[in-house]
């Protein structure tokens, strides 16, 4: 039994970490194999496309999450969608022909995911898609195209919720292929917040950043915001006004894509010179979880951050017009405000009044283990 894991970006490393941990345990503890459907000689390998490659978008997560180094690194890096995906396809195909895994696991909706699923399915290797069935129904998003195509190429579709399962059934995907297992982000959040809370250096880091005062946390990187000057400008203006009105720090670990675009549009200095906005480099997972947990409010366009805010019981304001995570809206932890200045400002006021009594809709934190159990039973 051989499993291939394909990953390439920050959220994939985080959301596959619990699955990789289970596979590591299975590889080394033969007795454990009996409890996983009598699998003999289970082995696995990791292909890293290196879609993300900066130290603080990549290696820091392997280190902090104590993950084994990838067996293969394709060094694909950045590029246009076609260029990046084509390089990945070529590199992945060569390795899969050599390794001949029984199944390949991909997670999420990035170009790495589409390339991994496409290369595998053309080689008639089974594909397992983790976090399947998410839909924003907005084809302007590159992620939506990757989601739909990957789901239709996959043999085992692991959805986080019943809503995601329904999305797949509506598209004609067979019921037998779909397994509702929760989201592995709950595994990652619950496993790592405990570790982070024990770390004095991280507590001190947060204290220094915030002066021990109340703060809001901001992340921003989606193409629909960063690659549209008007939207980005509106968001930055709203953030400036919110910081001023609340006389509150806004801590902003900035994605490299966003820093590049802000500089290109001559908006970077405006935000850097605002003493209420604290721009920092992207931080490691333990640091980020603690930044989230201690924030008064989170503003974001990230998928994973919408989920983590819901799990950690921090009100979230999503700087997008739609979300493929409607469960967070239904739970009451999240609202959509798009890139409209007034809506963002009003959204903050609304969410500041929010009682943090919602339920996490993404499962109990055992998704990684359940996915591997189901997968080994199916193959």
Catalytic residues, which ones? 221
Binding mask 185-224 for ligand UDP (x = CB under 6 A): ----------------------------------x-x---
Q: Is the dihedral of CA 353, 359, 360, 361 positive or negative?
A: negative
The residue from 143, 155, 308, 369 that contacts ligand UD1 (CB under 6 A) is: 143
Task: Quickly list DSSP for 261-323.
Answer: HHHHTT-HHHHHT-TTEEEE----HHHHHHHHHT-SEEEE--HHHHHHHHHHT--EEE-SS--
Using alpha carbons, list the distances in angstroms from residue 110 to 70, 260, 309, 343: 18, 20, 21, 29
Q: Residue 47: phi, psi to the nearest 5?
A: -105, 125
Asked whether position 14 contacts ligand UDP by CB under 6 A, the answer is yes
Residue 114 CA to residue 51 CA, distance in Å, equals 12
Among 2, 27, 32, 54, binds ligand UD1 (CB under 6 A): 54
Instruction: Give the closest residue to 235 by CA, choosing from 320, 292, 302.
Output: 320
Partner whose footprint covers residue 288, from ligand UDP, ligand UD1, none (CB < 5 to 8 Å by kind):
ligand UDP
- Residue 16 DSSP symbol: H
**Minimum gap (Å) between residue 12 Cβ and ligand UDP:** 8
Q: What are the DSSP calls for 170-208, one per residue?
A: HTT--GGGEEE---HHHHHHHHHHHHHHT-HHHHHHHHH
| 3-class DSSP state of 161 | coil
Query: Is 305 one of the binding residues for ligand UDP (CB under 6 A)?
Result: yes
Q: What is the pattern of x (binds ligand UD1, CB under 6 A) and - over residues 210-229?
A: -----------x--------
Query: Which one of the spans 8-16, 131-139, 243-251, 321-329 is the region binding ligand UD1 (CB under 6 A)?
Result: 8-16
CB of 288 to ligand UDP, least distance (A): 4
Cβ closer to ligand UDP: 72 or 285?
Answer: 285
Q: Which residue has the tokens 């919720």?
A: 161
Out of 4, 11, 133, 253, the only residue in the binding site for ligand UD1 (CB under 6 A) is 11
Take residue 35 and report the two structure tokens written for it: 């409890």
Q: Does 304 bind ligand UDP (CB under 6 A)?
A: yes
Number of residues this chain uses to bind ligand UDP (CB under 6 A): 15
Strand positions, DSSP E, the chain: 2-7, 43-48, 72-73, 103-107, 126-130, 156-159, 178-180, 215-219, 249-253, 277-280, 297-300, 316-318, 334-336
Q: Is 283 in the site for ligand UDP (CB under 6 A)?
A: yes
Of 378, 372, 373, 349, nearest in space to 105 by CA: 372
Task: Choose the binding region for ligand UDP from 234-242, 301-309, 341-349, 366-374 (rule: CB under 6 A).
Answer: 301-309
Under the binding rule (CB under 6 A), the answer on residue 326 touching ligand UDP is no
16 binds ligand UDP (CB under 6 A): no
CB of 190 to ligand UD1, least distance (A): 21
Which of 18, 33, 49, 51 forms a contact with ligand UD1 (CB under 6 A)? 51
Smallest distance from ligand UD1 to CB 14, Å: 10
Residue 283 CB, nearest approach to ligand UDP (Å): 4
Give the three-state DSSP class for 362: coil
The Cα–Cα gap between 165 and 134 comes to: 9
Residues that bind ligand UD1 (CB under 6 A): 9-11, 51-54, 57-58, 78, 109-111, 142-143, 221, 256-257, 260
């Amino acid at each position: 039994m051989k499993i291939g894991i394909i990953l390439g970006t920050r959220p994939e490393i985080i959301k596959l970490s619990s699955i990789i941990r289970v596979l590591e345990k299975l590889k080394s503890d033969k007795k454990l194999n009996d409890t996983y459907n009598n699998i003999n000689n289970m082995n696995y390998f990791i292909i890293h496309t290196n879609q993300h490659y900066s130290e603080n978008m990549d290696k820091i997560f392997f280190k902090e999450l104590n993950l084994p180094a990838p067996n293969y690194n394709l060094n694909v890096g950045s590029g246009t969608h076609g260029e990046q995906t084509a390089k990945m396809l070529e590199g992945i195909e060569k390795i899969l022909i050599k390794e001949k895994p029984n199944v390949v696991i991909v997670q999420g909706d990035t170009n790495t995911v589409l390339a991994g699923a496409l290369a595998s399915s053309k080689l008639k290797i089974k594909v397992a898609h983790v976090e399947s069935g998410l839909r924003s129904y907005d084809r302007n998003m590159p992620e939506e195209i990757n989601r739909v195509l990957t789901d239709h190429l996959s043999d085992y579709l692991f959805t986080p919720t019943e809503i995601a399962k329904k999305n797949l059934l509506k598209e004609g995907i067979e019921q037998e292929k779909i397994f509702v297992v929760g989201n592995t982000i709950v595994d990652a959040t619950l496993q790592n917040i405990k570790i982070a809370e024990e770390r004095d250096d991280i507590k001190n880091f947060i204290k220094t950043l915030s002066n021990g005062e109340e703060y809001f946390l901001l992340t921003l990187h989606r193409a629909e915001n960063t690659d549209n000057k008007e939207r980005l400008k509106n968001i930055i203006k709203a953030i400036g006004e919110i910081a001023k009105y609340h006389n509150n720090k806004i801590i902003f670990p900035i994605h490299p894509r966003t820093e590049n675009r802000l500089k290109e549009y001559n908006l970077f200095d405006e935000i850097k010179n605002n003493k209420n906005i604290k721009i920092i480099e992207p931080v490691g997972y333990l640091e980020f979880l603690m930044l989230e947990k201690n924030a008064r409010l989170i503003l974001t366009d990230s998928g994973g951050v919408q989920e983590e805010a819901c799990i950690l019981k921090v009100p979230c304001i999503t700087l997008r017009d739609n979300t493929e995570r409607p469960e967070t809206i239904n739970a009451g932890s999240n609202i959509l405000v798009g890139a409209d200045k007034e809506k963002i400002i009003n959204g903050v006021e609304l969410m500041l009044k929010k009682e943090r009594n919602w339920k996490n809709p993404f499962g109990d934190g055992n998704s990684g283990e359940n996915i591997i159990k189901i997968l080994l039973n199916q193959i």
